[in-house]
Amino acid sequence: MKRTIRTYPLLWVLLLTAIVVAAMVYSFRIARDMSERYAPLTDASAKIKFEVTLGHLWFEELISGDQDIAIDKVWKHLDLGKRYALSMLGESKGLSNPFGPQLRQKIARTLERIDEFRTSVQVRWERRLDAGIGTEMEQSFDQAFVGVLDSVAAVEQELERVVKRQFQRFKSVQLLLVVWVVLLGTATAFLLYRHERQRSKDLATLRDREERLTVSEHRYRALFERSNDAIFLVDKQSGRYLDANEAAERLTGRKLRQLKNLRTQDVVADLQKAEAQRLKILHSSGAENLGNVEYLRSDGSRRLARLSVVPLDDATVFGIARDITEEQATEQQLRRAQKMDAVGQLTGGIAHDFNNILGIILGNLDLLARQIAGDTRAGKLLDAIKISAERAANLTKQLLGFSRNQAREITTVDLNRLLEDMQSLIQRSITPSIEVEYQLTSEPWSTNIDADEFKDALLNLILNARDALPEGGHLTIETANAVLDERYCRVHPAALPGLYAACSVSDNGVGITTAQQERIFEPFYTTKERGRGTGLGLSMVFGFIKRSGGHIELYSEPGIGTSVTLYLPRSAKAVEPIAVVDDRSAPRSRFHELILLVDDEPELLALAIAQLHELGYRTLSAVNGKQALELLSNEPGIDLLLSDVVMPGGMDGYQLAERALVVKPDLKILLTSGFAAMPGRVAPNQNSSLPLLQKPYSHVQLAEAVSKLL
C-alpha cells in the first residue's frame, strides 16, 4: 500500500515533470512558430523593395528613350510591390496586440507611399517631354521613390522590434517553466489553464480566419459583379465561358446562361483575329494585353472593347474587357472637328481674297449699269455678268459660313413658319417626279438661329435628296419637338442632353453606304459625278449645326433611303417677326459730308470713292492705318471713317477705330470686310458694337449703311 502511495507521488512527479518538459517544448515551438510567422512578412518587405526598385529602374530606362521597354512593365512591378504590401497587411491583421496595430499602420503607410510613387510615375510619364533630369518633376519622382524605401525600412524595423519582444516574452515563459519545476503542483494547474486558454485562442483565431475568408469571398463577388468592366472566366483550351459579370452580359448582349454555351470566338466579329488571340493565350504564362476586340451582340449591334487576360492556372483564364465604343466615337468626332477647322481656316482665307475681287466686279457693274441705263442689249449682258458674280458671292458666303467667319444674324424663329415661306422655293428646286410631304408639328418650339443659314442648310439637304431620286420618289419634310436624354447622348457622344426643335428631311432614294457616311460631312467630299457638286453642301449643314449649338443625325441604308435630322436648341424667347425688305433707291448725301476711306486694295478704294462721289459725299483716302491717323489729325472736318477690317501693317480696322476715337471722339465709324473674324467688338466711348458692312456690298447697301450713320 505504501509502495503504491509512494508510486503515486513518483508517478505524479514524473507526470508533472513530463508536463513541464512538454510545456517547455511547446513554448519553444511557439517561439519557432512566431519566428516562422514573421519570416514571410520580412520576405514580403524585401520583395516590395525589390519590385519598386525594379519599377524605378525600368521607368528610368523608359524615360531615357529606350523604346524596347513598355510602360506596362513598370506598372507590373509596381502592382507586384503593392500586392506584397497587401499580403503583409493581411498577415499582420492576425498579430496580437500591442504589436499588430503599429505594424499594420506602417504597412498601410507603405501602401500609400507606393500609390504616391505610382501617381508620380504616371504624371512624369504623361509629361515626359517636360520631365528631364534636374526638373522639379524629376525631383518629386525621386522623392516619392525614396519615400517608398523609407516606409519599407520602417516596416522592417518594426518587424525586428516585434520579433525581439516576442522572443523576450518566450524567454520569460521558459524561466517561469523552470520555476514551475519547483512548484510542480501550482505549475500543473497553471499549465492546464494555459493549455486550455491557448486552445480557446486557437479556436477563436480559426473562426476569425474563416470569417475573414467569407468576407473576402463576398468582397470578391461584389467587385466581380459590380465592376463597370466586363470580367470573364474562360476555359483555356476550349475558349468556353465559365463565368461572367453583368458588365460582360451588357457588352455581349447575352445572359450568363447563354454565354456558358458559347466560346469566345462565337461573340466576336473578327474570327481570324479571335483565333490568333486564343493561340496567344494558350502559349502565354503571364498577363497579355490583346488590344481592341469588336464584340458582336445578339441584336446584331457591335461594341468595341479593350481586352486584357491573366492566366489563373493551367486551365482557366481571367479576362477583363473595357467598353470603349463611346470613347472611340468621341475621338472620331474630335478628329473630324480638327480636320474641318483646318479646312475652315483655309477656305476662310480664300473667301476673304475672293470677296475683295467680287466687290470690285460687282461695284463696277453697278456703276456701269447706271451709265448705260438706256442700252437694253448691254443691260442684258451686264445682268448675265452680275448673276454669275452673285453666284460666286453666294459660294464665298458658303465658304465663310463653313469657316465660321461669316457675320451671323441670330433671331428667335419658328421652323414651321420658315418652311412655309420656303415651300415655293423647295418646289422649284426639285423635279416634278418627286412628291413632297410636309409633316409639321402643331405646336413647334422656337429656336435661336440665323434664319438664312437654316434656309441654306435645309435647301442643301433637299438638293441632296433630289439627286438621290433621279427617277422620282417621295420626299418628307418633318418638324418635331425633341428631348435628347442621357441614354441618347451615350449612343451619340456629339449630342448634349436637352430640349430641341427638330427638322428632318427624308427620302426613299439610293441611300448612302457605311463607308460614305464616315466622310459625308467632310468639306469637298461628294458622291456625285464630276461637275455636279462641290462637296460643300453637307459640310455647310454640319458647320451651321455646330455654330448653333445643335446636333445632326444621319441614318441611311443603301437602296432604302436617307433621313437627316437637325436638332436645334429650344429657345425660351417668343418668335420674332420676319423683317420685310422692300426695294429702295440709294439715299444720297444732303450735306456733302466728308468720309475717310481706308483699304489696302487700290481697286476697292477707287471703286468706293467713285460710288460715294456719285452719292454726293466728299472723300479722303488712305491705304493703311498709320496714314489714316495722320489724315484724321490734320483734317478735323472728317465725319465718317469707312475702313476695311483686315489690313497689313500691324493695325487692323478695329485697332484703327479705337485709335481714331481717341483723336476724334465723336467720329462715326463703319467697318467693312469679306472675312468677319472678330464680329461684335465694341469701341471705346460707344455703347454698341461697331457696324460691319459685309463684302461684297452693292451700291444701295453702301448708301444705306453710310446714310444710317450720318
The predicted-structure confidence for 465-506, as pLDDT tens digits, reads as follows 898 888 889 999 999 999 999 888 887 888 899 999 999 999
Q: What is the per-residue burial (b if ≥16 Cβ within 10 Å, else e) of 159-182?
A: beebbeebeeebeebeebbeebee
Q: Which amino acid is at 252?
A: T
Please name the residues in contact with 376: beta carbons below 8 A apart, sequence gap of 6 or more: none
What's the burial of 581, exposed, middle or buried (CB within 10 Å: 0-12/13-18/19+)?
Answer: exposed
Say if residues 536 and 348 touch (Cβ distance below 8 Å): no
pLDDT at 340: 62
Could you report the per-residue pLDDT of 175-202, keeping only the tens digit for each? 776 666 666 666 566 666 777 888 888 8
Could you report the per-residue pLDDT of 334-355, keeping only the tens digit for each? 776 666 666 666 666 666 677 7
Distance CA 642, CA 635 (A): 15
Distance CA 281, CA 286 (A): 9
pLDDT at 622: 92
The two beta strands, 498-507 and 447-450, are: unpaired
Q: Which of 632, 587, 636 is nearest to 612 (CA)?
A: 587
404 pLDDT higher than 90:
no
Q: Which of 488, 491, 490, 466 is nearest to 477 (CA)?
A: 466
Cis peptide before 101 (omega within 30 of 0): no
Distance CA 464, CA 526 (A): 10
Assign residue 645 a region: left if phi > 0, alpha if psi is -120 to 50, beta otherwise? Answer: alpha
Say if residues 465 and 510 touch (Cβ distance below 8 Å): no
pLDDT at 446: 92
Could you report the per-residue pLDDT of 372-385, keeping only the tens digit for each? 766 667 767 677 67
Distance CA 415, CA 445 (A): 8
Could you report the per-residue pLDDT of 249-306, keeping only the tens digit for each? 888 888 888 888 888 788 887 777 777 777 777 667 777 787 888 888 887 778 888 8
Q: Which amino acid is at 76?
A: K
Distance CA 632, CA 628 (A): 6
Report the DSSP beta bridge partners of residue 503.
479, 566
pLDDT at 607: 85
683 pLDDT higher than 70:
no
Q: What are phi and psi of 572, to 5 degrees?
A: -85, -10
Output 356 or 398, whichever has higher pLDDT.
Answer: 356
CA-based end-to-end distance of the chain: 145
315 pLDDT higher than 70:
yes
Average pLDDT on 294-319 reads 83
3-state secondary structure (DSSP) of residue 510: coil
Q: Which amino acid is at 9?
A: P
Could you report the per-residue pLDDT of 585-612, keeping only the tens digit for each? 567 667 678 999 999 888 888 888 888 8
pLDDT at 218: 77
Alpha-carbon torsion, ordered 13, 16, 19, 25, to 10 deg: -60
Average pLDDT on 549-570 reads 91
Which of 545-549, 635-639, 692-696 shows the lowest per-residue confidence on average (mean pLDDT)? 692-696
pLDDT at 196: 84
Q: Which amino acid is at 706?
A: V
Q: Model-level pTM greater than 0.85?
A: no
Say if residues 538 and 460 touch (Cβ distance below 8 Å): yes
Could you report the per-residue pLDDT of 196-235, keeping only the tens digit for each? 888 888 888 888 888 888 887 777 777 777 788 888 888 8
* DSSP H or E stretch at residue 568: strand 561-569
pLDDT at 6: 43
pLDDT at 16: 65
678 pLDDT higher than 50:
no
pLDDT at 180: 64
Distance CA 91, CA 605 (A): 88
Distance CA 257, CA 636 (A): 90
Contacts 24+ apart (CB under 8 A), 573-580: 573/412, 573/446, 573/448, 574/412, 574/446, 575/412, 575/413, 575/414, 575/417, 575/446, 576/411, 576/412, 576/413, 578/413, 578/417, 578/421, 578/451
Could you report the per-residue pLDDT of 121-175, keeping only the tens digit for each? 888 888 876 656 667 777 888 888 888 888 888 888 888 887 777 777 777 777 7
3-state secondary structure (DSSP) of residue 555: strand
pLDDT at 660: 92
Largest CA distance in the chain: 163
Please name the residues in contact with 292: beta carbons below 8 A apart, sequence gap of 6 or more: 304, 305, 306, 307, 324
Q: How confident is the model at residue 20 (pLDDT cuts 50, 70, 90)?
A: low
